[in-house]
């Protein structure tokens, strides 16, 4: 039969976020969504008009671009640039110069896919302050928030202050934390009553319901009973992360250890290949299929994204194949 996501499932997520992220949410702030991308599209339609401007940071998860364009909003790209140590940062003054009277939304990826950044409190305060100054709503994709390595801490941007909370739509869920993407369940957190009503009206027009009973049970069980598994997962992912960094230390591929996610952002620009040649090298010479950096935006040109959420054996095999191909290329 048709089911409604029970309050106990929302309460399990509320308790998890309070314990792990010091973010206290209220039950009425939360609603069901089949996916973060669906939530993103719904929020864009609910909180802006056709031809309004939406700021997206480049590079980023590809649907961020398509959801803006497909909903007939104007895409404003803010390029993220690496500092001397290879750490990606946004430029607050550049962002300010890009804002116009038509700029209504800023889409944030936090932690960031594909670059693996965990934004610091100082960065989030600066960014949210700019958005509050210009009346811009923040849509924050925080689906990777539980996959953060020990030396870093995820800070939900909505947790910074009541003002920021009321200007933020937070997209989150169990899909990445517990490898549950196939269950098609996530949540949307909107504290501001007016924005929540507008979002609910758009959601009603889409009529996506509340999902399936099995997903509801899995979602609640993961948040209530998955803590020990989650800790073991982080330990395993951290080992894999270090394996990836070590594998490329003496090669022309540069890799900064990601601060979060199970994704490594490989800087292959020193190989001197175009994007098509780079893809062909990994598939045909190395025999490993990675995500092409260019698919994440213009700033991803010359990069490749490697998913290291694998068994030790499979990851080592993939890394050996890539490094062997690099050695043959150098000859």
Q: What is the CATH code for 228-330?
A: 3.90.1150.10
pTM: 0.96
Give the helix/strand (H/E) hosting 106. Answer: strand 103-109
Q: Which H or E run contains 139?
A: strand 137-141
pLDDT computed for residue 281 by the predictor: 97
Q: Which of 246, 241, 245 is nearest to 312 (CA)?
A: 241
Cα distances (angstroms) measured from residue 292 to each of 80, 127, 194, 242, 283: 17, 29, 40, 22, 11
Query: What is residue 329's predicted lDDT score, i.e. its pLDDT?
Result: 87
State the pLDDT at residue 235: 97
| Residue 205: Cβ within 10 Å count | 11
- Is it the case that residue 176 has pLDDT exceeding 60? yes
Q: Where are the domains of the chain?
A: 7-225, 228-330
DSSP 30-65: EEEES-HHHHHHHHHHHH--TT-EEEEEES--THHH
Does CATH place domain 7-225 in 3.30.420.40?
no
Residue with tokens 């300010």: 96
Decide if pLDDT at 331 tops 60: no
Task: Tell me the mean pLDDT in the region 38-58.
Answer: 98
Give the β-pairing of 137-141 and 168-172.
Answer: parallel
pLDDT on residue 3: 87
- CA 225 from chain centre, in angstroms, equals 24
Q: How confident is the model at residue 2 (pLDDT cuts 50, 70, 90)?
A: confident
Give the pLDDT score at 330.
63
């Amino acid at each position: 039969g048709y089911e409604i996501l029970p309050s106990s499932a929302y309460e399990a997520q509320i308790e998890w976020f309070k314990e792990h992220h010091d973010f206290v949410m209220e039950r009425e702030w939360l609603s069901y969504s089949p996916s973060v991308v669906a939530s993103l599209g719904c929020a864009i339609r609910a909180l802006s008009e056709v031809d309004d401007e939406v700021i997206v940071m480049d590079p980023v998860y590809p649907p961020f671009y398509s959801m803006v364009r497909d909903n007939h909003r104007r895409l404003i790209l803010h390029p993220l640039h690496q500092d001397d140590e290879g750490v990606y940062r946004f430029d607050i003054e550049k962002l300010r110069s890009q804002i116009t009277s038509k700029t209504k939304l800023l889409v944030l990826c936090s932690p960031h896919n594909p670059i693996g950044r965990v934004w610091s409190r100082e960065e989030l305060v600066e960014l949210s302050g700019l958005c509050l100054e210009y009346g811009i709503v923040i849509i924050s994709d925080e689906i990777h928030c539980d996959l953060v390595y020990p030396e870093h801490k995820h800070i939900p941007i909505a947790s910074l202050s009541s003002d920021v909370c009321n200007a933020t739509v937070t997209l989150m869920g169990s899909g990445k934390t517990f490898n549950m993407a196939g269950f098609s369940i996530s949540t949307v957190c909107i504290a501001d009553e007016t924005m929540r009503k507008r979002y609910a009206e758009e959601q009603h027009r889409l009529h996506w319901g509340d999902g399936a009973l099995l997903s509801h049970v899995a979602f609640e069980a993961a948040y209530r009973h998955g803590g020990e598994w989650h800790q073991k997962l982080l330990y395993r992912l951290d080992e894999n992360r270090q394996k990836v960094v070590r594998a490329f230390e003496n090669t022309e591929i540069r890799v900064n250890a990601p601060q979060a996610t199970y994704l490594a952002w490989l800087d292959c620009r020193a190989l001197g290949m175009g994007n098509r040649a780079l893809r062909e090298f990994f598939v045909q010479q190395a025999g490993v299929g990675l995500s092409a950096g260019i698919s994440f935006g213009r700033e991803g040109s010359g990069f490749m994204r490697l998913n290291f959420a694998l068994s030790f054996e499979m990851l080592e095999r993939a890394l050996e194949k890539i490094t062997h191909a690099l050695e043959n290329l150098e000859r």
